[in-house]
Structure 1
Amino acid sequence: MLTDPQTCLTAVRARDSRFDGWFVTAVRTTGIYCRPSCPATPPKARNITFYPSAAAAQAGGFRACKRCRPDASPGSPEWNVRADLVARAMRLIADGVVDREGIAGLARRLGYSTRQIERQVRAELGASPLALARAQRAQTARVLVETTTLPLTQVAHAAGFGSIRSFNDTMREVFAMAPRELRAKARISAVTPDGVDPAWHHLQLRLPFRRPLCVDNLFGHLVATAVPGVEEWRDGAYRRTMRLPSGPAIVALRPQQDHVAARVWLRDLGDLPVAISRCRWLLDLDADPEAIDADLGRDPRLAAMVAGAPGRRVPRTVDGAELALRLVIGQQISTRAARTHAGRLVAAYGVRVADPDGGLTATFPDPAVVADADDATLAMPQRRRDTLRGLAVALASGDLYVSTSADWQRARDGLLALPGIGPWTVEGVAMRALGDPDAFPASDLGVRQAMAALGLPDRGTAQLRASAPWRPWRAYAVQHLWASGSHEINRLPDQARSDG
């Protein structure tokens, strides 16, 4: 986290939105904390305390600014580029693990003692994991209070509060307003429009990001590789099903100028924080594109690509195990064939979902189900079938862990130990499931062709040396390399139709 006082002060005086999410500014004379880009007149330096997180400012007795809404800023990009204990803990907290399983569950997943995790998280962020989870609950609650007509008792449950009293006390402490006061000031929309299955909770949200955002390859990749029944592109939005802790969900994500408009259908409102976290991860919305582009643009071989399409993100996944299985299904076959094979698996074993607003039919099967899938469903060479089953068994048993909080090296080693899985699959998982910003699928045909077109070595150690200047952002460099080709993953479906 950014805590150098002079750098922070400079950012605040410039109202620089690039630093939103890196730190918050607490003003001792007013008792509030703001994001760096707050439009209010910058306070005097002697009255400022910089905190590494909103939770730390709240623990210091400060409340959120009503004007700049620091609780609604994009998350810190720091957690996207690190694989240490604190970064992994933050990704798990964002995914709701502390709310569901407590600190003991967080420690169990990370393989450390609760004392070690408490100490390291507090040392870096100025707040405990419980305080960080509480700050996240407060933000989720505010979104629900201000954008839905849900009864406040349901808002408290959905945000993860254990009681109405703790919900009310936290909202007053963090926002200096009771939930009813927040709602009275907001313009709200209905939760469930007419004609929608009442079994679903329907919510509309805004997912902020740091500009610029290049939507072409981000949404284009997700749509071009979409599994029938699980994903679709409809009316300018990428839609997909998800398996969440309390049941299935459907999300529709539509890019806008300064945010992604999200529509979410949930069986259980308590899954909302998890759904938001996974959608943000899927679209890489917490990245710092200006920093990434600046580093990549220093290489004259990439400079024109970066300048021509600033803000490229890495298209990720909402489920690491699903992505790993799909990559194995797609080994050495076309994108279209991979979709067909995966769609057949979904049709046979996916959990059925009644889509209230489109053509989605099921969630992707659980690894344990894939491990026992019938040969007739897995119409592929025996060797790849064996690889798929071996991977599914490892994922289902817990021997292999490929979620956002996994140890990157341990996950790579575990994948490589499985017969039939090589560097292409491993780096694909590392890039899109683990979130390693330096993942580099060197053997990928599109990467090799693009590097050759730039006059660069396209294989072996010479290729790796040529990619060294792009570190630690090689996963983002890959997006630019892929985009130099004509594959459909590089364009939105609407663009492809208008161009063709």
Structure 2
Amino acid sequence: MHTDTERCVRAVQSKDSRFDGWFFTAVLTTRIYCRPSCPVVPPKVENMTFYPSSAACQQAGFRACKRCRPDTSPGSPEWNARADSVARAMRLIRDGVVDREGVPGLATRLGYSARQIERQLLAELGAGPLALARAQRAQTARVLIETTGLPMAEVAFAAGFSSIRTFNDTVREVFALAPGELRGRAARSAKPPVTPGVIALRLPYRAPLNPSNLFGHLAATAVPGVEEWRDGAYRRTLDLPYGHGIVALTPHPDHIACRLSLTDPRDLTLAISRCRWLLDLDADPVAVDEQLRTDPLLAPLVDKAPGRRVPRTVDGAEFAVRAVLGQQVSTAAARTHAARLVTAHGTPVDDSEGGLTHLFPASGALAGLDPERLALPRSRRRTLTTLVEALAAGSLRLGTDTDREQARAELAALPGFGPWTVEVIAMRALGDPDAFLPTDLGIRRSAQELGLPSTPAALTARAAAWRPWRAYAVQYLWTVDDHPINHLPAQGSPS
């Protein structure tokens, strides 16, 4: 979008927050870059230039605006909706893969050479993988500086910097303030105190956001010990590269409040990325809803409660296991089956603020389970054991960077994986915005009640007009039934 100068200028002059993250405005006279909705008086048109990423702005010698803090804007919705190599690379960089594995590791995961990835990212984003990762490290450092009391040396290494000098130079260059000055400014903001060891931050999103189905779904399907709804927040455990964490996510009118407790602060970047992915916070709800409103039978559902997101997962392998456990049983039964696995095979954790007890078991821990001890039909035992063996062996990967069509084919080849299971994994684990569930009983009932075709083939044909947002159409169709997944739980009581 950054190449459409006229459209960008209109967005900046109207301070349109819908375009935050789509592009960045750099001001030639001040050498500052901003988000489109920056509250300051827009610069003259001749002094504006536009970039596709904050990393490109920084490479061109611009520093972040202290008023609008463009580094904290929502991510571009393109990287979640698209499935090409650039989008997959951006999702991996957002997850901190370059910091942990370097550019060669990024290229290996994508099946390209490092030079090919560099060339593709430069062409589309104006910055290579190292510059993009550097911009993300700067933002992670800012969060740690402003929300924790960690010594600066620990902040530097937790954010992914290789040296304190590089950390200091980067922070000064990007924010025009030394690390100590950033912390001093944050302290003067008179924020309420937080629990020691807890990182508190805001997760921005593009409005509107309807929390009912998003948090209602997560709470209604929560696995005891791993997830819970407590005091207006969805809480869960996180299995991370350097340790584990516990997150509490609370919906507010203009942001999601996020409280993270991590055993190792180096996991902050990935933890934030996982939370944003889980809640689908980088979506463009205006574009989604406009497309779905073109169907006169869907339009009333959209108008009644716009801004629905697709509830996803923090771990694709975990969700695939849970999808198998949930085949042809009630939500309550699926939770019970999953809780038994967690108790038997999950890693225990301490939770001083709630009732979380375990991490969901990793595929390796489940690969050796005795199928005879599973309270499941024999066919489903085989489905589950075959799945966890493929996940543990690495022959099946279900990450944010996974090729969606390849994963669909690999899942469909496993015993017991029909279209519903494949598509629900594509929707919630792989983040495919166009995944569709025409065989789902709830969807078929809703379609019939609305006057839509109710047979899978006819409904799929009708849904062609909803593409590429059929996963969001599913969220709206599910609201026709009065099910707990469509409502925020009652305040106060843990789920």
| Structure 1 runs not aligned, ≥5 long | 195-200
Aligned to 1:380: 376
1:230 aligns with 2:226: yes
SS of equivalent residue, structure 1 residue 311: coil
Taking the TM superposition and a 5 Å limit, the aligned residue runs for 1:232-381 are 232-375=228-371, 377-381=373-377
In the TM superposition, what whole-angstrom CA distance separates every residue of 1:83-139 from its partner, at most 9, and x where no partner exists?
000000000000010000000100111111111111001100000011001000101
1:193 aligns with 2:189: no
Q: Counterpart of 1:215 in structure 2: which amino acid?
A: P
Secondary structure of 1:166 counterpart? helix
Q: What's the TM-score, normalizing by structure 2? A: 0.97
Secondary structure in 2 matching 1:438 = coil
Matches within 5 A, 1:154-165: 154-165=154-165
Alignment correspondent of 1:140: 140
One-letter amino acid of the counterpart of residue 47, structure 1: N
**How far apart, CA to CA, are the structure 2 residues paired with 1:453 and 1:240?**
35
**Residues in 2 aligned to 1:442 and 1:160: alpha-carbon distance in whole angstroms:** 44
* 1:187-226 superposed matches below 5 A: 187=187, 193=195, 201-226=197-222
Mark the CA change 1:277 to 1:385 in structure 2 (over 3 Å): closer, same or farther. same
Counterpart for residue 71 of structure 1: 71
Please list every run of at least 4 consecutive aligned residues from structure 1 whose deviation after the TM superposition is greater than 6 angstroms.
Answer: 188-192
Question: Deviations for 1:419-447, whole angstroms, at most 9, x for unmatched residues?
Answer: 11011011001101111100001111111
The residue that corresponds to 2:151 in the other structure is: 151
Say yes or no: does 1:124 pair with 2:120.
Answer: no
Change (3 A) 1:191 1:95: farther
Contact map agreement 1:148 1:190 (CA 8 A) in 2 = no
Whole-angstrom distance in 2 between the partners of 1:386 and 1:71: 47
Q: CA deviation at 1:288?
A: 0.8
Is the 1:284–1:314 contact (alpha carbons within 8 Å) kept by the matching residues of 2?
Answer: yes
Which residue matches 1:45? 45
Q: How far off its partner does 1:460 sit? A: 3.4
When residues 296 and 467 of structure 1 are mapped into structure 2, their CA distance, relative to the original with a 3 A threshold, is same
- Contact 1:149–1:189 (CA<8 Å) still a contact in 2? no
Task: Give deviations 1:21-56, integer Å, cap 9, x for gaps.
Answer: 000000110000000001111111111110000000
Task: Report the secondary structure of 2:490's partner residue.
Answer: helix
Alignment of 1:358-437 (within 5 A): 358-375=354-371, 377-437=373-433
Deviation at 1:232, TM superposition (A): 0.3
What percentage of residue pairs aligned between the two structures are identical? 65
Counterpart position of 1:115: 115
Residue deviations 1:340-383, cap 9 Å, x none? 00000000000010112100000111112212112354210111
Contact 2:226 2:237 in 1 (8 A): yes
Alignment of 1:462-473 (within 5 A): 462-473=458-469
CA distance in 2, matches of 1:377, 1:324: 20
Q: Could you tell me how far apart the structure 2 residues matched to 1:303 and 1:193 are?
A: 45
Q: Which amino acid aligns with 2:64?
A: A
For residues 354 and 363 of structure 1, the distance between their equivalents in structure 2, rounded to whole angstroms, comes to 10
Q: Supply the distance in 2 between the matched residues of 1:192 and 1:259 (Cα, whole angstroms).
A: 18
The letter of the residue matching 1:220 is G
Question: For residue 182 of structure 1, what is the amino acid of its counterpart?
Answer: L
Distance 2:151 2:279 in 1: 30
Q: Distance in 2 between matches of 1:89 and 1:144?
A: 25
Q: Which SS does the other structure have where 2:313 is aligned? A: coil
Q: What is the Cα deviation at residue 147 of structure 1?
A: 2.0
Q: C-alpha separation between the residues in 2 aligned to 1:440 and 1:360?
A: 32
Local SS of the residue matching 2:7: helix
Question: Counterparts of 2:346 and 2:334 in 1: how far apart (Å)?
Answer: 16
Offset of residue 399 of structure 1: 0.8
C-alpha displacement at 1:181, in angstroms? 1.0
What's the CA shift for 1:148?
Answer: 1.9
TM-fit CA distance, 1:455: 1.4
- In the alignment, the residues of structure 1 paired with residue 273 and residue 351 of structure 2 have an alpha-carbon distance, to the nearest angstrom, of 22
Q: Residues 231 and 491 of structure 2 are in contact (CA less than 8 Å); yes or no, is this contact kept in structure 1?
A: no
> Could you state the TM-score of these two structures normalised by the residue count of structure 1?
0.96
How far apart are residue 461 of structure 1 and its match?
2.2
Contact 1:283–1:314 (8 Å) recurs in 2:
yes
| Structure 2 CA distance for aligned equivalents of residues 80 and 2 of structure 1 | 18
Residue 2 (structure 1) shift: 4.0
- Using a 3 Å threshold, how does the CA distance of structure 1 residues 301 and 93 change in structure 2: closer, same or farther? same
Deviation (angstroms), 1:495: 7.7
Residue correspondences, number: 491
Structure 2 Cα separation of the partners of residues 278 and 2 of structure 1: 27
* Paired letter, 1:335: T
- How far apart, CA to CA, are the structure 2 residues paired with 1:276 and 1:103? 21
Evaluate the alpha carbon distance shift between residue 192 and residue 14 of structure 1 in structure 2; reply closer, same or farther with a 3 A threshold: closer
Letter in 2 for 1:262: C
Distance 2:437 2:320 in 1: 14
Gaps of 5+ in 2: none
In 2, the alpha carbon distance for the partners of 1:469 and 1:496 equals: 42
Residue in 2 aligned with 1:198?
none
- Measure the CA separation in 2 of the matches of 1:202 and 1:462: 51
Q: Is the 8 A contact 1:438 1:472 kept in 2?
A: yes
2:257 alignment partner, SS class: strand
- Return the offset for 1:496: 12
Aligned-residue Cα RMSD (Å) equals: 1.4
CA distance in 1 between counterparts of 2:362 and 2:192 reads 33
Name the structure 2 match of 1:176.
Answer: 176
Q: Residue 2 of structure 2 contacts residue 50 of structure 2 at CA under 8 Å; is this kept in 1? A: no
Counterparts of 1:161 and 1:460 in 2: how far apart (Å)?
52
Corresponding residue SS for 1:373:
coil
- Matched residue type, 1:378: L
